[in-house]
Structure 1
Amino acid sequence: MDTLMTVIKKEKDFGILSEYDVAEELYKACKLKLPHAYQLLIKMVQKIENDNRGILEMLETAVGAGSPLGKDFLQYFGECCWDEQDAAKALEVYRFELEHGIAGARVKIGMVYDELLEDHMQAAHCYRLAFQEGDEAAAYNLAFTYRYMEPQDLLLAEKWFEISVKRDKYPHSLRELGELYVATDREKIGLLMIKQADQQIAKLIDEW
């Protein structure tokens, strides 16, 4: 965390600054584009106002005015709504992102349906649309949904994992595909896929 953020936190802990003072200092830090400032500001505003509706309206206004920082705020606010399991508010945020062309918004909508609302067919529809719109990473989400939803559709899962491997070259797709092969009497090639995927994943972790 940036030094300024640490100082602000310590001052707040000792009671030197009020919550409003901290929010004001964080806002200044945001304007200077200091690391982690906008995440902390949103959390502080949420704590002070306890008003997701007001925060969202403020962020929508900022994005509508063309503020790049507003987009950052908006995406982080969506994550906050997700963490709070607020599906309705998360959907509202992600739909607004979609309207404003923010990358990955359609997949995020699908994930809300998939994981928070457990409407897997609607999630699959969102992922398929996202893929058709050019988000090749959505193939993995679609395949994963088909594999693990109830009831499963392993044929479609295999198809979309194969597409993900070919188009997005996502190693987790290769691993999932290998596991499907092993489970359907294609053990030799499946184990080879799993080995290759694990090597690719380990390499990514090392590079990260």
Structure 2
Amino acid sequence: MNTMHKFHAGAGALLLASAPALTWAAGASAAQQCTTQAALQNKSIKVEEAKALFVPKAQNLTATSTTKDLLINGDQLNEFEATLTTYEVKADGTLTVLTNSASAEDKDFLTIYSFKQYRSDGNNKYGISIRLDINYHSSSGAISLANLFGFLSASGNASKFKGNLSLSAHGLVNPKIAALLPVPAKLDDSAAAQYFSYMGALKGLITDKDTTIDPVLLSPCA
């Protein structure tokens, strides 16, 4: 079974003030634009798939072997990607990707900042994902995606956004992960800085000697 660690905290607008400078990924093709929450999820893969891609010469696998038994390490993930994507969440739960700017009058949004390290096989990407999800409701205003984090954290907009923030790691197995991800107790600028610090610490674990990669099939749009 693939491993996913996830931590949540409520987030007001100020939580986003310490986000790194990012350029919104506007070049996503139609095929990469998910319309459901389920399509945003990474998927477990079979041992045979992982073996063929990462360790084709592996021996002594049994019917009870798992992908973790292949002892895949971070050095085998030779491609990298960081994306920032924002979806409007419709009343029926469907998603619409935003490409420039949008009215934010009484609407729900999901912004995903993710770091991926993987190996490609055709159009599929197999590896790990470290992901920050921000679900929020806007009472008024407009969103400019090129400066999304700055807009949400501006003091004049603080009362317009309510929501929550979650951080998750997928496909990364290391006993140090839980210790690196305490849930911030105070929801303020320092908590936001902590979340991005956690992301950096998780990236550092990818090539840690105690890390095993339990690769997942990465969602093409999250």
Q: Note whether the superposition's TM-score is higher than 0.5.
A: no
Whose RCO is larger (CA < 8 A, sep 6+)? Answer: 2
- Greater fraction strand: 2
- Greater fraction helix: 1
